[in-house]
Amino acid sequence: MSTLTELGTLDVLEAEAVHIIRECAAECERPVLLFSGGKDSIVLAHLATKAFTPAGLPFPLMHVDTGHNFPEVIEYRDWYVQEIDERLIVASVEESIAAGRVQDETGPRASRNRLQTTTLLDAIAEHQFDACFGGARRDEERARAKERVFSHRDMFGQWDPRNQRPEPWGIYNTKLRKGEHFRVFPLSNWTEVDIWAYIQREGLRLPSIYFAHEREVFTRDGMLMAAADFVERLPGEEVSTATVRFRTVGDATCTACTLSTAGTVEQVLAETRESDVSERGASRADDRTSEAAMEDRKRGGYF
Amino acid sequence: MPVESPMLHAVAVGSVDDGKSTLIGRLLYETGHLNADEIAHVEEASRKRGRKFLDLALLTDGLRAEREQGITIDVAYRSFDADGRRILLGDAPGHEQYTRNMVTAAAGADVAILLVDAMNGLTSQTRRHLAICAMLGVEDVIACVNKIDLVGYDEGRFTELAHELIAASQAVDGPRITAIPLSALEGINITQRSEKLPWYSGPTVLEVLHDLDRPIADEAFRMPVQWVTRYDEGGADVRALAGRITSGTVRVGDEVVALPGGSTSTVSAIDVLGEPRDMASAPLSVALHLATDIDVSRGDVIAPVDDPPQVAARVRATIAWLDEAPLTAPSRLEVRQSARLVPAIVEELHERLDLDAMRNEQADALEANDLGIATLLLAQPLAVQPYAVNREMGSMVLVDPGSNRTVGAVMVTEVLAG
Q: pLDDT tens across B103-136, in order?
A: 888 998 999 999 999 999 998 888 888 988 999 9
pLDDT of residue B193: 94
pLDDT at A288 over 60: no
pLDDT of residue B61: 60
**How many CB atoms neighbour CB A271 within 10 A?**
17
Cβ-Cβ contacts under 8 Å between A and B: the total is 183
Select the more confidently predicted residue: B74 or A195: A195
The Cα of A106 is separated from the nearest Cα of chain B by a number of Å equal to 29
Residues 176-215, chain A: which have Cβ within 8 Å of B? 176-177, 188-189, 191
Chain B residue nearest residue A139, CA to CA? B78
pLDDT of residue A143: 78
Listing DSSP states for chain A in one string gives -----SS-HHHHHHHHHHHHHHHHHHH-SSEEEE--SSHHHHHHHHHHHHHHTTS--SS-EEEEE-S---HHHHHHHHHHHHHHT--EEEEEHHHHHHTTSS----STT--STTTHHHHHHHHHHHHT-SEEE----TTS-TTGGG--SEEEE-TT----GGGPPP-GGG-------TT-EEEE-TTTT--HHHHHHHHHHHT----GGGS-EEEEEEEETTEEEE--TT-PPPTT---EEEEEEESS---TTTBEEEE----SHHHHHHHHHH-SS-HHHHHBGGGGS-TTHHHHHHHTT--
Listing DSSP states for B250-286 in one string gives EETT-EEEEETTTEEEEEEEEEETTEEESEEETT-EE
Q: What is the distance between the alpha carbons of residues A256 and A286, in angstroms, rounded to a whole number?
A: 10
pLDDT at A300 over 80: no
The number of helix segments (H) and strand segments (E) in chain B equals 9, 24
Question: What Å distances lie between residue B78 and A161, B11, B235, CA to CA?
Answer: 17, 10, 48
**How many CB atoms neighbour CB B417 within 10 A?**
7
pLDDT at A250 over 70: yes
Q: Domain extents for chain B?
A: 7-211, 223-304, 310-416
Q: What is the DSSP letter of B196?
A: T
pLDDT class of B288 with cuts at 50, 70, 90: very high
| Residue B297 near chain A (CB below 8 Å) | no
For the segment B365-389, what is each residue's pLDDT rounded down to a tens digit?
999 888 999 999 999 999 999 999 9
Contacts of A222 in chain B (CB under 8 A): none
pLDDT of residue B72: 57
The Cα of B244 is separated from the nearest Cα of chain A by a number of Å equal to 6
The Cα of B272 is separated from the nearest Cα of chain A by a number of Å equal to 9
The Cα of B156 is separated from the nearest Cα of chain A by a number of Å equal to 31
Q: What is the distance between the alpha carbons of residues A300 and B195, in angstroms, rounded to a whole number?
A: 51
Please name the member of B77, B231, B396 whose beta carbon is closest to the beta carbon of A189. B77
pLDDT of residue B68: 61
Cross-chain residue pair B231–A55, CB shorter than 8 Å = yes
pLDDT at A284 over 90: no
| Residue B32 near chain A (CB below 8 Å) | no
Instruction: Indicate the SS3 state at residue B3.
Output: coil
Select the more confidently predicted residue: B327 or A295: B327
Among A214-223, B58-67, B340-349, the least confident range:
B58-67
In degrees, to the nearest 5, what angle opens at C-alpha B156 toward C-alphas B155 and B161? 100
Select the more confidently predicted residue: B42 or B236: B236
Question: Average pLDDT of A87-101?
Answer: 90
pLDDT of residue B63: 60
Cis peptide before B401 (omega within 30 of 0): no
CATH number for region B223-304: 2.40.30.10
In degrees, to the nearest 5, what angle opens at C-alpha B77 toward C-alphas B74 and B79? 165
pLDDT of residue B1: 43
Contacts of B223 in chain A (CB under 8 A): none
Q: What is the distance between the alpha carbons of residues A287 and A302, in angstroms, rounded to a whole number?
A: 13
pLDDT at B319 over 80: yes
The amino acid that residue B327 corresponds to is L
β B301-304/B365-366 pair status: unpaired
Question: Average pLDDT of B406-418?
Answer: 93
Contacts of A275 in chain B (CB under 8 A): 35
Residues 103-142, chain A: which have Cβ within 8 Å of B? 138-139, 142
The H or E element containing residue B52 is: none
C-beta separation of A224 from A257 below 8 A: yes
Contacts of B2 in chain A (CB under 8 A): 2
- Helices A265-274/A192-202 angle, 10° precision: 160
| Residue A274 near chain B (CB below 8 Å) | no
In degrees, to the nearest 5, what angle opens at C-alpha B263 toward C-alphas B262 and B269? 125
Question: Average pLDDT of B402-411?
Answer: 96
Listing DSSP states for B303-364 in one string gives EETTSPPEEEEEEEEEEEE-SSSPEESSEEEEEEETTEEEEEEEEEEEEEEETTTTEEE--S
Q: Do domains B7-211 and B223-304 have the same CATH topology?
A: no
For the segment A148-190, what is each residue's pLDDT rounded down to a tens digit?
999 999 999 998 887 889 999 999 999 999 999 999 999 999 9
B51 class by beta-carbon count within 10 Å (0-12 exposed, 13-18 middle, 19+ buried): middle
pLDDT class of A1 with cuts at 50, 70, 90: very low
Cα A19 to the center of its chain, rounded Å: 20
Q: What is the distance between the alpha carbons of residues A112 and A251, in angstroms, rounded to a whole number?
A: 7
pLDDT of residue A20: 98
| Residue A12 near chain B (CB below 8 Å) | yes
Among the ranges B3-7, B170-174, B285-289, which has the highest mean pLDDT value? B285-289
Among A293-297, B373-377, B400-404, the least confident range:
A293-297
For the segment A42-89, what is each residue's pLDDT rounded down to a tens digit?
999 999 999 999 999 999 999 999 888 889 999 999 999 999 999 999
Q: What is the distance between the alpha carbons of residues A220 and A109, in angstroms, rounded to a whole number?
A: 10
pLDDT class of B159 with cuts at 50, 70, 90: very high
pLDDT class of A223 with cuts at 50, 70, 90: confident
Q: What does pLDDT average to over chain A?
A: 88
Among B76-80, B299-303, B381-385, B393-397, the least confident range:
B76-80
CATH of B7-211, one of 3.40.50.1980, 2.60.40.3880, 3.30.300.180, 3.40.50.300: 3.40.50.300
pLDDT at B313 over 60: yes
Please name the member of A176, A189, A275 whose beta carbon is closest to the beta carbon of B404. A176
Query: Which residue ranges form the domains of chain A, and what is each CATH number?
Result: 9-194+292-299 (3.40.50.620), 207-288 (no CATH)
| Residue A155 near chain B (CB below 8 Å) | no
pLDDT of residue A183: 96
Q: Is the ipTM of this complex over 0.85?
A: yes
- Helices B155-171/B124-136 angle, 10° precision: 50
For the segment A254-269, what is each residue's pLDDT rounded down to a tens digit?
888 999 999 999 999 9
pTM of the shown model: 0.92
For the segment B270-282, what is each residue's pLDDT rounded down to a tens digit?
999 999 999 999 9
Contacts of A150 (CB under 8 A, 6+ apart): A24, A165, A167, A172, A173, A174, A182, A184
For the segment B60-111, what is each residue's pLDDT rounded down to a tens digit?
665 666 666 555 567 888 899 988 899 999 887 766 556 778 888 899 899 9
Contacts of B395 in chain A (CB under 8 A): 168-169, 171
pLDDT at B203 over 50: yes
Please name the member of B3, B244, B392 whose beta carbon is closest to the beta carbon of A7. B3
**Domain B310-416: CATH architecture, name and number where available:** Beta Barrel (2.40)
**How many CB atoms neighbour CB B377 within 10 A?**
17
Q: What is the distance between the alpha carbons of residues A282 and A295, in angstroms, rounded to a whole number?
A: 19
Cross-chain residue pair A281–B35, CB shorter than 8 Å = yes
* Best residue in A5, A6, A84, A142 for a mutation probing chain B (most B CBs within 10 Å): A142
Cross-chain residue pair A145–B62, CB shorter than 8 Å = yes
Percent of chain A with pLDDT over 90: 60
Please name the member of B78, B283, B397 whose beta carbon is closest to the beta carbon of A168. B397
pLDDT of residue B60: 63
pLDDT class of B363 with cuts at 50, 70, 90: confident
Question: Average pLDDT of B176-188?
Answer: 94
pLDDT at B45 over 90: no
pLDDT class of B361 with cuts at 50, 70, 90: confident
